Structure 1
C-alpha cells in the first residue's frame, strides 16, 4: 500500500496476575498507516479485552499467508490486505469466511450491509476498512499570482499552460487509465476501451504527448520528494502521502481529485487461526463506525462505513477541513474511478511488457 516500514510492536493491556493475556498477531503495512491503526483500534481493543496485540508489518501479497496455511503453521491472525489480494486469498482457501451481516450497526443504527462499502459481490472473507486513491498534487507557491491553476486531469497534459516536468508512477496501472480519460473516454468506458488493441495504442499515443516531460517514480516517498524538491510542476501521488504533507507538515500542496483512481483495503482472518473467535471480535471492533472515524484523524483515508463520516472532526490540528482530504467526500468523489483489479489480473503481464517497451523507446 502506501507507507512501509519494518517494525514489531506489542500493545499490552493492563496486567492482572490471575488472567494471562492472549496474543493476537495483526499484520499491516507499517509506517503512518499502522500508526493510525494502533491509535484508532489496536490499543483500544487491547485495553478493552485485556489482550496483547502484536503489531507486525509486511510488504503485501499472499506469499507468507499461503506458506503458513500450506504448512499448517499459522503465525498471523488478522491481516490488512488490498481488496485484490483478499478476493484471491478467499478463492484460494487462505482466509476465513466473514459474515458482515452479523457486524455491529452503524453509528446511526444503519444495518452493516447498508453501511459498509459493498464488496459482498467480490468476496466473503473481508471487511472493508479504508478507501485510498491515486491523485494529482502540485505546489501552490508558483501559482500564487497565476491567472490559472491546475484543476483537472487534462492539465497534466497541458504542457503549454503548465510548463515543467510531471511525475507519474512507473507502471501501466493508473497511467493508461488516465491517458484514456484525458483523451475524452468516459469513466464508464475506460476498461472496455482499454480491452482493445486500438484502445491500448490510443493510450500510449496520448502518453507520447508528455513522455519527454515525465519523471517516473516507483514509491510514494519518491513522488512526495519530487514535489518537495521542486523537480516537477505536478505529480501523480497517493492521496495519503499528499494529505499527510499538507495536514501534518503544512506543505503548500494542492490535491486534484478529478479522475482519482480509488481502491480499498480490508481486514481478513487467516484460515486456521488458533485465535479465530478473538480475531473476529477484533475485526468487528476495528470496523465500528467510531474506530474508522478515529483512524481518519491520523491518516486521510476515507472510512469504508458511511456512518463514520458524521463522526469525523471538522478540523485538523493545523485548522484544515479534514473532509476535504478524504477520497470519498462527495465533492472529491464525483469523477472517481474504481481501480479494476480483476481486469488487471487478466491484462497485467501483457500491458506491463508493452509499457516497458514503450518506456525504452526514445
Structure 2
C-alpha cells in the first residue's frame, strides 16, 4: 500500500511537471480582417515575429463588446490582444474585461495623442468614416455632402450604411442640416433621436446594410450601391490594389481612434506587452499609412510618414476641418438604448 501511494505521488509529480512544461498557446492577435489586416500583417505581424522570436496567431472579428464579454465570462477566452473601437474600450475597461496597461513599458503617455491613452488601451489608428462613390459611374456633378447621399432623385441607386446606430444616426442628423458641433447635443434629446430616425425613414427603401469593413468597396464595385459610408483606408486600398476609381468625400467625415487591449487573464501577457511596444514604435507605425492610409497614434510617427500619403489621412488639416469626432462617452451611455431602438426600426 505504501509503495503504491508513493508511486502515485511520483506519477502526479511527473504529470504536474509535464503540464507546466507545455508552452502556452501562441500569442493570438485579433483585428478587423480584409485589406487592413493584410497591411498589419506586412508591417507589424511578420516583422514582430522575426524580431521578437515570438510566434503569433491572428484572427479577425466584427466587433461588439458582447463577444469579448462572453469569452471572459465563459472562461473560454482564446484571444490575447484585440483591436477594439472606442466604446468597446470604455465598456470593456469598466467591466474588467481587459488588463490595465503599464504605461512605463509603452514609453509613457506623453508619447501618444491624448485620445490614444486609456487605462486599458493604447491607440492603434486614427481613421474616418467617409462618403464614397464610384467615379467611373458618377461623373461630372458629383455628391459633396451627406445631404447629397440622401438625394436619390439626382443620383439614383441604393445607399449603404454600417448596420448600427453609431455613425448612422450622426450621419442622418448631418444630412438633415445639423452642424457637427451640435450633433451630440441634438442626439442627446428625444427630439433629436426622432429627427435622426425620421431622416432615415426617407432613405429606408434604398438602404443596404454592411457589417464588415471589406463590404463597402465590394458593394461599390458590384454596382449594388451608388454610394456608401466606409472606412477611408478600405476605399484607398481598393483604389491602390484593385485599380478602382472610387472617390472620397471628406466633408463632415466622422473620425475616431481604435485601440489595442490585452484580454484579462491572458496567459501571454508578457508577450502581448512586447507586441504593443513593437507596434507603438514610431519607426514601425510610419510604415502602415503607405499600405493603408490610417493615421498613427504616436506623435513622433507623423513627421516620418511619406509626404504623399499625408493628404489621405483623417488627421490631414483639410480633412479634419469639417469633421465630427465620434463621442465615445456619448455612446458608452447610450449604445444599448439606441441599439434597441435602431434594431426595432430596421425590423419594421
Aligned to 1:335: 322
Which whole-Å CA distance do the structure 1 matches of 2:60 and 2:138 have between them?
A: 40
Aligned to 1:87: 90
1:138 is aligned to 2:133: yes
Per the alignment, do residues 24 and 246 of structure 1 end up closer, same or farther by CA in structure 2, a change over 3 Å counting? Answer: same
Residues 80 and 268 of structure 1 are in contact (CA less than 8 Å); yes or no, is this contact kept in structure 2? yes
Counterpart pick for 2:227 among 203, 219, 234? 234
Per the alignment, do residues 29 and 164 of structure 1 end up closer, same or farther by CA in structure 2, a change over 3 Å counting? Answer: closer
- Describe the superposition over 1:65-115 as per-residue Cα deviations: whole angstroms up to 9, x where unpaired: 5566557776433222223222222222232221335534xxxxxx75253
* Structure 1 length-normalised TM: 0.78
Which whole-Å CA distance do the structure 1 matches of 2:191 and 2:68 have between them?
A: 39
The 3-state SS of whatever aligns with 1:32 is: helix
Per the alignment, do residues 140 and 99 of structure 1 end up closer, same or farther by CA in structure 2, a change over 3 Å counting? Answer: same
Counterpart pick for 1:296 among 279, 289, 297? 289
Counterpart pick for 1:344 among 331, 344, 348? 331
Per the alignment, do residues 95 and 154 of structure 1 end up closer, same or farther by CA in structure 2, a change over 3 Å counting? Answer: same
Per the alignment, do residues 175 and 22 of structure 1 end up closer, same or farther by CA in structure 2, a change over 3 Å counting? Answer: closer
Per the alignment, do residues 28 and 161 of structure 1 end up closer, same or farther by CA in structure 2, a change over 3 Å counting? Answer: closer
Q: What is the RMSD computed on CA atoms of the aligned residues?
A: 3.0
1:152 is aligned to 2:145: yes
Which whole-Å CA distance do the structure 1 matches of 2:249 and 2:144 have between them?
A: 6
The answer to which of 187-196 and 335-344 deviates more is 335-344
- Describe the superposition over 1:274-297 as per-residue Cα deviations: whole angstroms up to 9, x where unpaired: 333332122111111121121223
The 3-state SS of whatever aligns with 2:287 is: helix
Q: For this pair of structures, how many residues does the alignment match?
A: 326
Residue 218 (structure 1) shift: 4.0
Counterpart pick for 2:248 among 249, 252, 255? 255
Aligned to 2:15: none
Which whole-Å CA distance do the structure 1 matches of 2:164 and 2:347 have between them?
A: 13
Which whole-Å CA distance do the structure 1 matches of 2:271 and 2:169 have between them?
A: 43
1:31 is aligned to 2:34: yes
The answer to which of 64-73 and 192-201 deviates more is 64-73
Aligned to 1:204: 197
Counterpart pick for 1:166 among 149, 156, 159? 159
Residue 129 (structure 1) shift: 0.8
Which whole-Å CA distance do the structure 1 matches of 2:70 and 2:198 have between them?
A: 42
Which whole-Å CA distance do the structure 2 matches of 1:206 and 1:65 have between them?
A: 33
User: Which aligned pairs between 1:89-104 and structure 2 lie closer than 5 A?
Assistant: 89-100=92-103, 102-104=105-107
Which whole-Å CA distance do the structure 1 matches of 2:174 and 2:216 have between them?
A: 22
Which stretches in structure 1 are left out of the alignment for 5+ residues?
A: 1-19, 105-110, 315-320
Per the alignment, do residues 250 and 200 of structure 1 end up closer, same or farther by CA in structure 2, a change over 3 Å counting? Answer: same
Which whole-Å CA distance do the structure 1 matches of 2:181 and 2:49 have between them?
A: 44
Per the alignment, do residues 358 and 330 of structure 1 end up closer, same or farther by CA in structure 2, a change over 3 Å counting? Answer: same
Which whole-Å CA distance do the structure 2 matches of 1:231 and 1:54 have between them?
A: 35
Greater share of residues in helix: 2
Aligned to 2:6: none
Which whole-Å CA distance do the structure 1 matches of 2:273 and 2:247 have between them?
A: 39
Which whole-Å CA distance do the structure 2 matches of 1:272 and 1:75 have between them?
A: 10
Residue 226 (structure 1) shift: 2.8
Residue 117 (structure 1) shift: 4.3
Aligned to 2:113: 116
Which whole-Å CA distance do the structure 2 matches of 1:62 and 1:350 have between them?
A: 15
Which structure: larger Rg?
2
Which whole-Å CA distance do the structure 1 matches of 2:71 and 2:201 have between them?
A: 45
Residues 100 and 119 of structure 2 are in contact (CA less than 8 Å); yes or no, is this contact kept in structure 1? yes
Residues 134 and 262 of structure 1 are in contact (CA less than 8 Å); yes or no, is this contact kept in structure 2? yes
Residue 134 (structure 1) shift: 1.7
